[in-house]
Structure 1
Amino acid sequence: MSYPSDARRRTLLLILLVVTILAGVASLGVGSAAIDPARLLAAATGHGDPIATAILFTLRLPRVLLGLAVGGMLGLAGAALQGYLRNPLAEPSVLGASSAAALGAVSALYFGLSERHILFLPVLAIAAGLLALLLLFALAGRAESPLSLILAGIAISALASAGISLALNLSENPFAAMEITAWLLGSIENRSIEHVWIALPCIGCGAALLLLDARALDALTLGEEGAQALGVTLRRTRLRLLLGIGIGVGGAVAVAGSIGFVGLIVPHLVRPLTDRSPSSILLPSLLAGAALLTLADIAVRLIPTYNELKLGVITAFLGVPVFLLHLLRERRLW
């Protein structure tokens, strides 16, 4: 009886993989400098002119890789959190990971550390995300209930948001305040290959930790006691989940800024195409998140504006109506 479901899942993954690859290839061909596909192909194979090669490998390829990685991580994190907390409104910011990582990055901008070395901003963002996890454990204590995590996460998120507002309020340099504001809107513009090497290890580690608990998330649909009866160690599952969120989302936020709604809406887009079990949503959400953010990044380059739109603005405009539509359609299924 499981074969039709397995075949449907493989088909969905294949379709999403093809869409993600096509989005990545399309993103390579979009930019402020018009380059025909033949020149890009020649540059990719090592036979192109220096200008096309520099544009492809220095500007566009890092942007595409970060769009795919960051979008995939945010989509996967949202799906894992919605499964663990049994809450369709859950996303990485619920546990305070996104806000804390943003506060770490804002601190690097506020104190001018990011001007001294490129590594200060991502290192502080990731460190702040991990510190938020330690604080989350301290506030939640030994309670296994997801409600305790949600309440502790809300407190941490509020504290981090207050810190960001304080930095903006006390900033004496208007250019620093503008830089902080622009970073908070989210973008992968002008990112280099160094940013890719900073983000990918964190995102890869975080994604692996989240994917390890696919079956445990299915068991948790029966409640904490039912999951324990099936052999799930709740404390170990929670530790892996929180570490995966903290490391993966921290690495994503460190290089892309605050990009909202991806982790919130992607699982809702994917869920009707699956059997609705948490484990069946994880990988599709990863691929759908990667494709969605890459397509949104293409949109910010195609929309004619004086200054390039920030990625977080586009995801917000896309996310709100899509999320509300699916919420109205599926609220009785939860």
Structure 2
Amino acid sequence: MAAERVPPRLLSGLLALAVLLLLVGSAAAGRVTLPLLAAMGEIAAGQSTPGSIILLELRLPRALLGGLVGASLGLAGAAMQGLLRNPLAEPGVVGVSGLAALGAVVAFYTGLSARFAYALPLGGIAGAFAAVALLYALAGRRGGLLSLVLAGMALNSLAGALTALALNLSPNPYASFEIVFWLMGSLADRSLFMVALAAPPMLLGWLLLARAGPALDALSLGEDTARSLGFDLGRVRLRIIMATALAVGAAVAVAGVIGFVGLVVPHLLRPLVGHRPGRLLLPSALGGALLVLAADIAIRLLATGPELKLGVLTALLGAPFFLWLVVRLRGEEG
């Protein structure tokens, strides 16, 4: 039985409330008990105490990045599924995630990350913009969806091969170990500067994707219908790809590769918005933030010795969902 449609404002309001609660929970969660209100009062009073330092330098950046990264992945996933008209699409399909990760790996491999603290996120953002330039060169503004997907597959293969090459040729085994751990995805030990660095490109990407809602609704009726309604599909594709590069590239640059969020969240929420791609954008952003924050809180509370990487947990949750989704879609086609 299909899920009943929920009024968009009610759905977004409930999701926003849940995200707010999890932001507070993320700031409070950890192996060290932190009196949150007292620590906030100490920060407001300008006092440097263990509680205020833990909150300001560890917990708060982690909570903020969890919300930002999750929202970017969820929103970009909904936009890519609407653009490609495929519920199995996700931000990595156009190669942005892979090249953003490669940019950060280059910063590790060349030693820039050791000499310059913020070479890692800057390298990831540079890789995301390189993905946009290469996609535009390969698929072109007037290229169709097939050209776009094939170009994205080529870029993903290239990024994977070059990342493997960097690991293989790395002269320092400890650097290789660090690269592998970073690729697993994590929000641990991030700073407020990284929040400030990643937030502007993410917010710009969100704005561009939000403006694409009417075009995505028109595309759901077919390309010919979208053109007849006055939409320039080449411009729409370019806007969505650039916005995805900004949002997802910045997310990968500061948190590593966190998979399946952009696939799972839009698919779960789509029935609640009447299967309209434009209406799915905001709920998917909030749902992505909700999922990443919840997963990050869970790994801090799990007694696993060394902290489980966030990307590992989302993969453990997302891979079975992906397989179930493929089986269900095959059943519907049959």
TM-score, normalised relative to structure 2:
0.94
Displacement of 1:113 in angstroms is: 0.2
User: Which residue does the alignment assign to 2:90?
Assistant: 91
Partners in 2 of 1:155 and 1:18 — Cα distance? 40
Q: Is the 8 A contact 1:144 1:234 kept in 2?
A: no
Displacement of 1:230 in angstroms is: 0.6
Greater mean deviation of Cα atoms: 116-125 or 88-97: 116-125
Greater mean deviation of Cα atoms: 49-58 or 39-48: 39-48
Q: Is the 8 A contact 1:140 1:149 kept in 2?
A: yes
User: Which residue does the alignment assign to 1:264?
Assistant: 263
* Sequence identity percentage: 50
Structure 1 residue 28 corresponds to structure 2 residue 22:
no
Q: 1:60 to 1:155 in 2, by over 3 A?
A: same
Displacement of 1:274 in angstroms is: 1.2
Structure 1 residue 8 corresponds to structure 2 residue 11:
no
Q: Is the 8 A contact 1:268 1:326 kept in 2?
A: no
Partners in 2 of 1:26 and 1:199 — Cα distance? 22
Amino acid paired to 2:309: K
Amino acid paired to 1:129: A
Amino acid paired to 1:14: G
Partners in 2 of 1:121 and 1:51 — Cα distance? 28
Greater mean deviation of Cα atoms: 255-264 or 138-147: 138-147
Displacement of 1:145 in angstroms is: 1.8
User: Which residue does the alignment assign to 1:297?
Assistant: 296
Q: Is the 8 A contact 1:43 1:49 kept in 2?
A: yes
Partners in 2 of 1:142 and 1:33 — Cα distance? 52
Matched residue of 1:190: which SS? Answer: coil
Structure 1 residue runs without a partner (length 5+): none
User: Which residue does the alignment assign to 2:228?
Assistant: 229
User: Which residue does the alignment assign to 1:192?
Assistant: 191
User: Which residue does the alignment assign to 1:254?
Assistant: 253
Partners in 2 of 1:242 and 1:176 — Cα distance? 32
Partners in 2 of 1:322 and 1:170 — Cα distance? 35
TM-score, normalised relative to structure 1:
0.94
User: Which residue does the alignment assign to 2:280?
Assistant: 281
Q: Is the 8 A contact 2:209 2:243 kept in 1?
A: yes
Partners in 1 of 2:60 and 2:109 — Cα distance? 29
Amino acid paired to 1:80: A
Q: 1:29 to 1:48 in 2, by over 3 A?
A: farther
Amino acid paired to 1:194: F
Partners in 1 of 2:260 and 2:149 — Cα distance? 18
Residue-pair matches, total: 329
Q: Is the 8 A contact 1:97 1:249 kept in 2?
A: yes
Structure 2 residue runs without a partner (length 5+): none
Q: Is the 8 A contact 2:15 2:286 kept in 1?
A: yes
Partners in 1 of 2:221 and 2:241 — Cα distance? 21
Amino acid paired to 2:169: L
Structure 1 residue 65 corresponds to structure 2 residue 64:
yes
User: Which residue does the alignment assign to 1:311?
Assistant: 310
Displacement of 1:51 in angstroms is: 1.2
User: Which residue does the alignment assign to 2:135?
Assistant: 136
Equivalent runs, 1:77-156 vs 2, <5 Å: 77-156=76-155
User: Which residue does the alignment assign to 1:201?
Assistant: 200
